[in-house]
Amino acid sequence: CTGEELALLDCDRRYDEYNCGGSRGAGVICSLRGSDMTTSLQGGDTIQGEGNVMLDGKFVCSRYWDVLDGQVACRELGYPHVIHVKETDKNASDSTDFTEFACKGHEPSLSECVHLENNQTCSNKLAAVECSHSQKAYTISLVGGNTSAEGNVFLDGSPVCDYSWGWADAEVA
């Protein structure tokens, strides 16, 4: 499913084609919690919109944390732009109850994004974000090509990874 469907049967996948005997069945825990949860930052320069992301006083694990998740967090905190998403080292005392966020970028709050709660698969990294009231100007360059119109894509002097890179990305670049 893409998350935009109204019912499971609206998804492109045929769920009756697979043999899911025993412990192979899909599961879910539904929650009505959401809009009452608070997003905040800790560490870094929280006045400038930078720090580790917390949801309801618990750190967010960096597993699958990406720019769409950061956009939602920044917007909820009053910043219209995300400058950078990153991860920081987790201390043993840092409690992480939230992981694997899958925001689409349009949600009004981080708690309304699809995510796992009380997940034990958190790495030793915490989700962090740098937000801003103004959009950052990026420098895009092509390196190593035969002409100025070809080459490896660099963003602010760093190479862009080719993982999931496609035609749409090339058109935007």
What SS3 string covers 50-109? EEEEEECCEEEECCCCCHHHHHHHHHHCCCCEEEEEEEEECCCCCCEEEEEEECCCCCCC
Q: Is the pLDDT of residue 76 over 60?
A: yes
Residue 153, classified by CB atoms within 10 Å of its CB into exposed (0-12), middle (13-18) or buried (19+), is: middle
Using 50, 70 and 90 to split pLDDT, how confident is the model at 91? confident
For 6-58, the pLDDT digits (tens) are: 666 667 765 555 555 556 666 665 555 555 788 989 888 767 789 999 888 88
Nearest to 58 by CA among 47, 34, 42: 42
Using DSSP bridges, classify how beta strands 58-60 and 96-102 pair: parallel, antiparallel or unpaired.
parallel
- What residues have CB less than 8 Å from 155, skipping those under 6 apart? 138, 139, 140
Mean per-residue pLDDT, 130-154: 83
8 Å CB contact between 26 and 127: no
Placement of tokens 């390196």 in the chain:
143
